[in-house]
Amino acid sequence: MKITKEEIEHVAHLARLELDAEAIERFAGQIGAILAYVDKLKQVDTEGIAPTSHAISLTNAFREDEVHVHLEPEQSLANAPEKEDGTFLVPRIIK
Amino acid sequence: MHLFELTIQDAHAKLTAGEISSLELTRAMLERIQAVEPKVDAFISVDEEGALKQAAECDKRIAAGDTTPLTGIPVGIKDLMCTSGMRTTCGSRILDNFVPPYDATVITRLRAAGAVIIGKLNMDEFAMGSSTEHSSIKATRNPWDLDRIPGGSSGGSAAAVSADMCMGALGSDTGGSIRQPASHCSVVGMKPTYGRVSRFGLVAFASSLDQIGPLTKCVFDNAVMMNAIAGYDPADSTSVPKPVPDYTSYLSQGLEGMTVGIPEEYAALEGLDPDVSAAVENAKKVIQDRGAACVDVSLPNTEHVVAVYYVIAPCEASSNLARYDGVRYGFRDAESADLMDMYKHTRTGGFGAEVQRRIIIGTYCLSAGYYDAYYGKASQVRTLIRNDFERAFETCDVILAPVAPTPAFKIGENKEDPLKMYLSDIFTLSANLAGIPGMSVPCGFSKKGLPIGLQLLGKHFDEGSLLKVAYNFEQATDFYKQKPKL
């Protein structure tokens, strides 16, 4: 399994990471080796086998619709890198 | 004997008999931390003031006769469980300044039981790693050999218990992160059944695999901590509404009538150290001498375990870690004027290399055109692995195996070869994939004097049988009494 530098760059963008040339080179090699190893799963016969997403499956984890105590707005905002008037501030989105 | 050397069981007896106070015990622990922490580097933060305050409260509780087996006992917490008002870093730069506004459910439960939370323990960043070298803060050292890794990712938890800096600790286990460091540091570690312990307030790595559990000096203490943390939590929809037994009640039982399974595939695996194999073989004999029968069992999909795990865990991680975007908490790159740049610079500057590597693998495997080939396929093979255990448990009660293929390696030895590090997880990953409980209990030392752990795997929700076998084994041996020289 060969993974190209372009593929690493594309996936890094999807994951919102910005890698320099050295990191792309290094990751392409390491991740290529890991994916080559993982590729052996293709040999396993899984015809008709249902996938497992959770080992202990629970269905319909309902609860009563009751009012509970929750964090106050100032507690929720306490860790915000930037905030204003009870909201989270982010850099300008629309130019 | 120094106070810091006590087990939880012995300390509890002395506390309730009025021989010692929780304040004395907590002070002894803090002094011990001062003395050996510079060598071991297990803690990310020590809450001296808070611990002494909690201890004083506990002494009042004890005087009033309101005690549990954990009241007044100083414990440490892996730094990925939220502690209200106390920094929780996850071993990552991206959460370096994060102060949770609430307690994780396990913390609420420990506080209710009267445990004294003495500090937060080091770990591989976001619990990704088997060595605690991938912490953004520092590398923890193995108390048995300071040039070696303590294991990971709960390396701080295992090292702190082993070095007597706390009487017990909580860790988390996604692919062996409690059992493997327990094995490398000669302490007892339990990964409970998936859904047995609430994950509310645990920083998520791979949500279908993560589970919190205790690391302790002996099996009895482990049962006591399990009693405190296990049980249904309405705040975690994957926690299972099933009654919790008194785990200490299993310890008085013998092994007559029990059957222990030995997986045929494990002995044949490449890279199994002869000292590890000899220690596990010896443990099998001890357990047989105590009355258990041994049978061979087969886990034919063992060869696929590492590949399945290293698809599923990074996929879940890439999704879980999308939340670290510099908006609501944690590190933000303040230089970026544009939102996209802010996301990218925050995440690239905030995550370490191993975390970035896994996010990229996970994103790749989940991306358009690859989902079925990787995540879909791995989820199907996961079913086959689960079925292997179901079949094996038709003929045995508990499975016996090594924890790690070798004793602790040297710091730096595997850091640049991720695949080699992943392959060393072969014996521990399957318990997380199958959701079954697994335990590590000290079973000997290598020729170089490095600790070796024995792994016990059980049926869903049968932690009791693991504790029973582990306790019988412990009573017949003295490995757990041996201490590192610091």
Convert the pLDDT of each residue in B176-217 to its tens digit.
999 999 999 999 999 999 999 999 999 999 999 999 999 999
For residues B281, B283, B286, B291, the Cα torsion angle rounded to the nearest 10 degrees is -90
Task: Count the domains in chain A.
Answer: 1
**Does residue B153 have a cis bond before it (omega within 30 degrees)?**
yes
**Following DSSP, what letter does each residue of A68-84 receive, concatenated?**
-----HHHHHTT-SSEE
* Rounded-to-integer distance, Cα B409 and Cα A36, Å: 25
Mean pLDDT in residue range B250-254: 96
Cβ contacts of residue B166 below 8 Å, gap of 6+?
B29, B74, B75, B76, B118, B119, B160
3-state secondary structure of B469: helix
**Structural domain boundaries, residue B218:** 3-258+437-481
Query: Which residue in the block uniquely carries the two structure tokens 């690239």?
Result: B348
Compute CA distances B299 → A48, A58, B276, whole Å.
20, 26, 20
For residues B422, B427, B432, B433, the Cα torsion angle rounded to the nearest 10 degrees is 80
- Confidence bin at B285 (pLDDT 50/70/90): very high
Within 13 A of B39's CA, how many CA atoms are on the CB side?
A: 19
Q: What is the mean pLDDT of chain B?
A: 97
The answer as to whether B269 is a domain residue is no
**Rounded to the nearest 5°, which phi and psi values hold at B119?**
175, 175
Residue of chain B with shortest Cα separation from A79: B329
The answer as to whether A33 is a domain residue is yes
Chain segment A32-70, per-residue pLDDT in tens: 999 999 999 999 999 999 999 988 877 888 888 999 888
The answer as to whether B276 is a domain residue is no
- Confidence bin at A1 (pLDDT 50/70/90): low
Mean pLDDT in residue range B417-439: 93
The answer as to whether A48 is a domain residue is no
CATH number, position B80 = 3.90.1300.10
The secondary element (H helix, E strand) that includes residue B191 is strand B188-191
What residues of chain A, 45 to 74, have a C-beta less than 8 Å from chain B? Answer: 46, 49-56, 58, 61, 63, 71
Which pLDDT value is given to residue B433? 98
Q: Work out the percent of chain B whose per-residue pLDDT is above 70.
A: 100
Chain segment B41-84, per-residue pLDDT in tens: 999 999 999 999 999 999 999 999 999 999 999 999 999 999 99
The single-letter code of the amino acid at A4 is T
Distance between A37 CA and the closest CA of chain B, angstroms: 7
The answer as to whether B395 is a domain residue is no
Contact B198, B233 (CB under 8 A): yes
- Contact across the interface for B99 and A37, Cβ inside 8 Å: no
Burial tier of B210 (Cβ tally within 10 Å: 0-12, 13-18, 19+): buried
The secondary element (H helix, E strand) that includes residue B36 is helix B22-40
The answer as to whether A21 is a domain residue is yes
Contact B156, B184 (CB under 8 A): no
The answer as to whether B78 is a domain residue is yes
Chain segment B358-393, per-residue pLDDT in tens: 999 999 999 989 999 999 999 999 999 999 999 999
Rg of chain A, C-alpha, whole Å: 23
Beta-bridge partner residues of B261 = B295, B399
Q: Does B435 touch chain A (CB under 8 A)?
A: yes
Say how many Å lie between the first and final Cα of chain A, rounded. Answer: 42
- Confidence bin at B245 (pLDDT 50/70/90): very high
The answer as to whether A34 is a domain residue is yes
The answer as to whether A50 is a domain residue is no
Which pLDDT value is given to residue A61? 80
The answer as to whether A16 is a domain residue is yes
The answer as to whether B303 is a domain residue is no
Query: Which residue in the block uniquely carries the two structure tokens 């993560």?
Result: B210
User: Above 90 in pLDDT, residue B337?
Assistant: no
Mean pLDDT in residue range B91-99: 97
Closest partner residue to B101 among A49, A55, A78, by Cβ? Answer: A78
Closest partner residue to A79 among B98, B336, B338, by Cβ? Answer: B98
Which pLDDT value is given to residue B344? 97
Interface test with A, best of B309, B351, B380, B393 (most A CBs within 10 A): B380
The answer as to whether A24 is a domain residue is yes
* Rounded-to-integer distance, Cα B158 and Cα B78, Å: 10
Contact B69, B247 (CB under 8 A): no
Q: What are the strands, taking DSSP E only, across B305-463?
A: 398-402, 438-445, 451-458
The single-letter code of the amino acid at B479 is F
- Contact across the interface for B325 and A16, Cβ inside 8 Å: yes
Which pLDDT value is given to residue A68? 87
Q: Does B194 touch chain A (CB under 8 A)?
A: yes
The answer as to whether A92 is a domain residue is no
Of the candidates B41, B32, B35, B306, the residue with the CA atom closest to the CA atom of residue B158: B41
Q: Taking phi first (over 0 means left), then psi (-120 to 50 degrees means alpha), and beta for anything else, what does residue B444 get?
A: left
**Could you tell me how many CB contacts below 8 A there are between chain A and chain B?**
169
- Confidence bin at B1 (pLDDT 50/70/90): confident
Cβ contacts of residue B486 below 8 Å, gap of 6+?
B36, B39, B40, B143, B163
Task: Count the domains in chain B.
Answer: 1
Which pLDDT value is given to residue A6? 94
Neighbour-count burial for B99-118, b at 16+ CB within 10 Å, e otherwise: ebbbbbbbbbbbbebbbbbb
CATH number, position A23 = 1.10.20
| Helix, strand, coil percent content, chain B, rounded in steps of 5 | 45, 15, 40
Paired tokens of B58: 């506990």
Chain segment B111-153, per-residue pLDDT in tens: 999 999 999 999 999 999 999 999 999 999 999 999 999 999 9
**Structural domain boundaries, residue A33:** 5-43
Residue of chain A with shortest Cα separation from B334: A81
